[in-house]
């Protein structure tokens, strides 16, 4: 127990002393709206998404994340709209992020489209100092006030039915939750995202999609996620992923119907932290509501 408390204390200290990163997801390729507002409406249907992530199972105070989002094209225009909620808990801290996305899409060829997006969000951060071990409490934290902070972000997203590439910064405004004589507690920094993926048709009933996500934030390690997913008979999805110097993952999904897709991911740590937990679990579902006579003939891989 002391080891677990010490680990959480170290994790929390690192988080509040340097840079806060956005919530982490293994199945990022299905959760693009949270990192890039230009994705809103790109599926050509109203898309409802829900995800639950339990990280580092067995480690006291480990992160738990829940997110719900909805995005849709706006009538027959080039506009897309999105709304998302992220609840992220780690140790004594709880973050709730509410965001609204607006995108505008321009066709660049018969198959490719370029979307521009903006994100407006509000972050509610809560630190419950009563959950801290008295021996670990810092005088700075005892004087901490919970905070509400607005933010704005933007992104671009080039995509077709088989490929995508995107660049985004969901939070342009950097803010300090507490600042006293240059001692900053919980510093929110800009997070830069680059995403890319391509779908290869290996046969009439087998598709393969490699994907990449790179996330960078000042004061935090560079995060690089690479994955490879296979889709079989437009129904079953199986894949592997690797987060550089952090974890390896296995993913599976099933297209229950034309509208409903469910997925599961399991992460296994590749660091010494593996000695103190039994991995991370992530489960999600996506439900697409198609306009009449506008149903896609095969499931989208992203």
More confident residue, 240 or 184: 240
- Please indicate, yes or no, if residue 296 is contained in any of the structural domains: no
Residues 88-103 pLDDT 10s: 998 888 899 999 999 9
Bridge partner list, 284: 51, 263
User: What is the model's pLDDT at position 50?
Assistant: 97
Share of residues in the chain with pLDDT > 90 (%) = 57
**pLDDT band with cut points at 50, 70 and 90 for residue 190:** confident
List the one residue out of 82, 51, 48 whose CA is nearest residue 66.
Answer: 51
User: What is the model's pLDDT at position 217?
Assistant: 85
Residue with tokens 């507002």: 37
Is pLDDT of 37 > 60? yes
**pLDDT band with cut points at 50, 70 and 90 for residue 22:** confident
E-strand ranges in the chain read 46-54, 64-73, 79-90, 93-107, 113-127, 147-159, 163-169, 175-180, 183-188, 191-198, 200-203, 206-217, 223-232, 236-243, 247-255, 260-269, 280-289
- Please indicate, yes or no, if residue 300 is contained in any of the structural domains: no
**pLDDT band with cut points at 50, 70 and 90 for residue 293:** low
- Please indicate, yes or no, if residue 299 is contained in any of the structural domains: no
User: What is the model's pLDDT at position 4?
Assistant: 46
- Please indicate, yes or no, if residue 14 is contained in any of the structural domains: yes
Residues 205-248 pLDDT 10s: 999 999 999 999 877 788 899 999 999 999 999 999 999 988 99
- Answer yes or no: are the C-beta atoms of 22 and 170 closer than 8 Å: yes
User: Among 79-83, 104-108, 113-117, 188-192, which is the least confidently predicted range?
Assistant: 188-192
- Please indicate, yes or no, if residue 261 is contained in any of the structural domains: yes
The span from the CA of 85 to the CA of 25, in Å, is 14
Pairing of strands 206-217, 200-203: antiparallel
User: What is the model's pLDDT at position 6?
Assistant: 38
What is the model's pTM? 0.85
The span from the CA of 178 to the CA of 127, in Å, is 11
Residue with tokens 């399991």: 266
DSSP state of 38: G
CATH number, domain of 89, equals 2.40.160.40
Angle at 98 between CA 97 and CA 104, to 5 degrees: 125
Please provide the average confidence, as pLDDT, over all residues in the chain.
84
Bridge partner list, 48: 70, 287
User: What is the model's pLDDT at position 178?
Assistant: 53
Residues 251-286 pLDDT 10s: 999 999 989 999 999 999 998 888 888 999 999 999
- Please indicate, yes or no, if residue 297 is contained in any of the structural domains: no
List the one residue out of 134, 106, 119, 41 whose CA is nearest residue 80.
Answer: 41
Looking at the 3D structure of the chain, how many domains does it have? 1
- Please indicate, yes or no, if residue 62 is contained in any of the structural domains: yes
User: What is the model's pLDDT at position 116?
Assistant: 98
Query: Domain span at residue 238?
Result: 2-289
Residues 115-173 pLDDT 10s: 999 999 999 988 777 666 655 555 555 555 577 889 999 999 999 999 999 999 999 98
- Please indicate, yes or no, if residue 169 is contained in any of the structural domains: yes
């Amino acid at each position: 127990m002391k080891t677990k408390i010490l680990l959480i204390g170290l994790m929390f200290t690192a988080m509040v002393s340097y840079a806060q990163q956005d919530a982490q997801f293994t199945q990022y390729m299905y959760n693009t709206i949270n990192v890039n507002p230009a994705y809103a409406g790109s599926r050509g249907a109203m898309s409802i998404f829900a995800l639950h992530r339990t990280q580092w199972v067995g480690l006291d105070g480990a992160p738990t994340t829940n997110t719900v989002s909805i995005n849709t094209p706006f009538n027959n225009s080039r506009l897309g709209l999105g709304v998302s909620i992220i609840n992220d808990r780690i140790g004594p801290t709880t973050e709730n992020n509410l965001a609204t996305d607006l995108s505008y899409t321009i066709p660049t060829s018969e198959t490719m489209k370029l979307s521009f997006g903006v994100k407006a969000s509000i972050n509610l951060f809560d630190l419950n100092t009563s959950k801290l071990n008295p021996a670990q409490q810092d005088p700075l934290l005892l004087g901490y006030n919970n905070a509400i902070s607005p933010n704005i972000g933007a992104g671009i997203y080039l995509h077709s039915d088989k490929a995508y590439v995107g660049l985004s910064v969901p939070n342009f405004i950097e803010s300090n939750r507490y600042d006293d004589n240059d001692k900053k507690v919980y510093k929110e920094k800009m997070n830069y995202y680059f995403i890319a993926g391509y779908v290869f048709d290996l046969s009439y009933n087998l598709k393969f999609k490699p994907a990449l996500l790179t996330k960078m934030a000042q004061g935090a390690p560079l995060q690089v996620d690479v994955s490879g997913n296979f889709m079989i008979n437009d129904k079953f999805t199986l894949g592997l992923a690797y987060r550089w110097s952090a974890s390896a993952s296995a993913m599976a999904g099933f297209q229950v119907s034309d509208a409903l897709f469910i997925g599961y991911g399991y992460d296994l740590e590749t660091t010494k932290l593996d000695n103190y937990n039994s991995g991370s679990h992530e489960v999600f579902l996506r439900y697409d509501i198609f306009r009449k006579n506008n149903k896609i003939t095969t499931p989208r891989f992203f």
